[in-house]
Structure 1
Amino acid sequence: MTVRRRISRSPLLVLPLVLPLVLAACAPRQDTGGSPVSALTRVAAADRQAAPDLSGDGLDGRALRLADYRDRVVVLNVWASWCGPCRAEAPELSKSQKELGTKGVQVLGVDTDAERGSGRSFERAHGLVYPSLHDPGSRKLLRLPRGYAPRALPYTLFIDRAGRIAAKYLSPLTAADVRTIVGPLLAEKA
């Protein structure tokens, strides 16, 4: 005869198991060159894959094409208006565009909201100074190479001047993060 015991689900018993995970999530981010705990994964120049030519209507209704930004380092940021971390990083990305635009960097957003109006409201509310492609349901992003499709938001790809994916970032960005990541890409020869 098997005896089954009921395990108490008291919060006090679960706390020792959950607390280390919570504390680890609050630890400062570090660029570990793409280790599983790092938000940043860099890709060596020899291993970079071409980014697909994402194109379509921007939130302002004008045509946008990723290929139009060749010869620039592109910070391709995927966002949605309902995403809290996206709201936190939006001003940082605008700051990055203002600081780095004259140095050869272009921030380009990809709004995944179902309704264009939600994206336009987000753009106005957060003072975005860079264009955003409207991609409801992330259909255009399905064309990204294997391993580069976003699984959570916000999500950012860094594309070198040759149009190849040079890095991905899986967490909200600060302007300092953007400077750190694009610095080596700007130094590369086109």
Structure 2
Amino acid sequence: MRRRRRLPLLAALLAPLLVLAAACAPAREAGGSPVSPLTRVPAADRKAAPDLAGGSLDGRAVSLAGYRGKVVVLNVWASWCGPCRAEAPELSRAQKELAAKGVQVLGVDTDARRDSGRAFQEQHALSYPSLHDPGSRKLVRLPKGYRPQALPYTLFIDRQGRIAATYLSPLTQSDIRTITRPLLTE
């Protein structure tokens, strides 16, 4: 009799965990294939990117507007985020490879403490600057439909300063090359 009572209790305790696990899993289209984490925005429908500006983790003044004329890969991360740690070297390699073509990677560290972001930047030898934005307070100003739901989160900003694509998963150097290629020819 005791065993029968435990099963519904166990099921009730595990249900929220199963819902959470399903939410973290990639979405599926009818037919079972994963939905792409990339969403491209047609040029006519693009909205202006937020005017992000402030101090970088290494103390320099940085602004998104300062990169106008370049394609910007705006990557939102945190030091405690495992997928962010995995993609950091990919972003650095992409920055080194694509800088001469007009691409700039710009990070946004959402850690509560600046020293956590600085340690991450040093540990991963990031080749691009990162703004410090505890709790994503500046990103709240993103246009509706562009607010990050999870980390890492990346916006691709066209040369005119408009949001051209979003990517809701860790990026590889190849992903960045593929996504920025058409933006560089616009």
In the alignment, structure 1 segments of 5+ residues that lack a partner are 28-35
In the alignment, structure 2 segments of 5+ residues that lack a partner are 28-33
In structure 1, what is the equivalent of residue 178 of structure 2? 180
In structure 2, what is the equivalent of residue 102 of structure 1? 100
Asked if structure 1 preserves the Cα contact closer than 8 Å seen for 2:38 and 2:165, the reply is yes
TM-score after normalising by structure 1 = 0.82
Shift of 1:37: 1.9
Asked if structure 1 preserves the Cα contact closer than 8 Å seen for 2:26 and 2:35, the reply is no
In structure 1, what is the equivalent of residue 115 of structure 2? 117
In structure 1, what is the equivalent of residue 59 of structure 2? 61
2:72 aligned with 1:79: no
Runs of 4+ in 1 over 6 A off after TM superposition: none
Shift of 1:52: 1.4
Shift of 1:175: 0.2
In structure 1, what is the equivalent of residue 138 of structure 2? 140
Shift of 1:61: 1.4
2:36 to 35, 38, 45: 38
Once residues 185 and 26 of structure 1 are traced to their aligned partners in structure 2, the CA distance between those partners, rounded to angstroms, is 26
Shift of 1:173: 0.2
Once residues 26 and 150 of structure 2 are traced to their aligned partners in structure 1, the CA distance between those partners, rounded to angstroms, is 18
The amino acid that maps onto 2:100 is T
The amino acid that maps onto 1:103 is K
Once residues 99 and 176 of structure 1 are traced to their aligned partners in structure 2, the CA distance between those partners, rounded to angstroms, is 11
In structure 2, what is the equivalent of residue 49 of structure 1? 47
Q: Deviations over 1:67-126 (max 9, x none)?
A: 000000000000000000000000000000000000000000000001110000000101
Shift of 1:6: 7.2
In structure 1, what is the equivalent of residue 156 of structure 2? 158
Give % identity. Answer: 73
Once residues 6 and 134 of structure 1 are traced to their aligned partners in structure 2, the CA distance between those partners, rounded to angstroms, is 50
Once residues 135 and 86 of structure 2 are traced to their aligned partners in structure 1, the CA distance between those partners, rounded to angstroms, is 22
Once residues 8 and 123 of structure 1 are traced to their aligned partners in structure 2, the CA distance between those partners, rounded to angstroms, is 47
In structure 2, what is the equivalent of residue 168 of structure 1? 166
The amino acid that maps onto 1:170 is L
In structure 2, what is the equivalent of residue 31 of structure 1? none
TM-score after normalising by structure 2 = 0.84
- Equivalent residues in 2 for 1:19-30 (5 A)? 25=25
**Residue 96 of structure 2: SS of its match in structure 1?**
helix
Once residues 159 and 26 of structure 1 are traced to their aligned partners in structure 2, the CA distance between those partners, rounded to angstroms, is 24
Shift of 1:166: 0.2
The amino acid that maps onto 1:81 is S
Shift of 1:148: 0.7
**Residue 164 of structure 2: SS of its match in structure 1?**
strand
The amino acid that maps onto 1:156 is T
The amino acid that maps onto 1:134 is H
Shift of 1:62: 1.5
Once residues 136 and 74 of structure 1 are traced to their aligned partners in structure 2, the CA distance between those partners, rounded to angstroms, is 21
